[in-house]
Amino acid sequence: MAGPNDVRARLLGAWRLVTWEEQLASGEVDYPLGPDAVGQLTYSPSGRVSAQLVRPDQPRFGDDDWRKATPDERADTWLGYFGYFGRYSIDEEAGSVTHHVEGAWFPNLVGTNQVRYYHLDGDTLTLDADTAWGRVRIVWEKIDA
């Protein structure tokens, strides 16, 4: 049986988003950032985690200074992104990794502990979670050790 250090070693590095799905109460599947969303998840040896997910091909702003974005540009872009950073811990017995969020695009995540139940299969990492908005499954592919 693998121990927490083995799981930690397998988690370390960068992961590319394969899919982010939400299971709706109706049984249907929704894709919060679309079926072609892109993203990266990184676990560092020092215990840091960073997750960035984005809707691809978002329209460019009218100005290269992000502070000059129109209210519509800001609102549309905010809905096309999901990201946070912080520390992580592993509970091998529970089969979970917890992301202890220190900063996030969505302020309600800051200071929370986001529990993700992991399944590692070769270079594929599946994270399942029950969230405030529903049950989610995020699948990642290893891109860098």
- Using a cut of 0.75, tell me whether the model's pTM lies above it: yes
pLDDT tens figures, 23-47: 988 889 999 999 999 999 999 999 9
Return the C-alpha torsion angle 51, 141, 98, 131, nearest 10: 70
Phi, psi of 5 (to 5 degrees): -70, -35
Residue-by-residue pLDDT tens, the chain, 145 positions: 445 469 999 999 999 999 999 998 888 999 999 999 999 999 999 999 999 999 998 989 999 999 999 999 999 999 999 999 999 999 999 999 999 999 999 999 999 999 999 999 999 999 999 887 789 999 999 997 6
Identify the burial level of 94 via C-beta atoms within 10 angstroms of its C-beta, where 0-12 means exposed, 13-18 middle and 19 or more buried: exposed
Among 102, 123, 126, residue whose Cα is nearest residue 114: 102
Domain holding 44, by residue range, is: 4-144
Q: Report how many domains make up the chain.
A: 1
The tokens describing 72, both together, are 């519509």
Cα gap 39→48, rounded to integer Å? 17
* Dihedral sign, Cα of residue 73, residue 78, residue 83, residue 86: positive
Contact 133, 22 (CB under 8 A): yes
CATH code, domain with 19: 2.40.128.280
Return the C-alpha torsion angle 48, 54, 59, 61, nearest 10: -30
Among 81, 84, 85, 1, residue whose Cα is nearest residue 44: 85
The tokens describing 74, both together, are 């800001």
Which residue pairs from 56-62 have beta carbons closer than 8 angstroms and sit at least 24 positions apart in sequence?
A: none
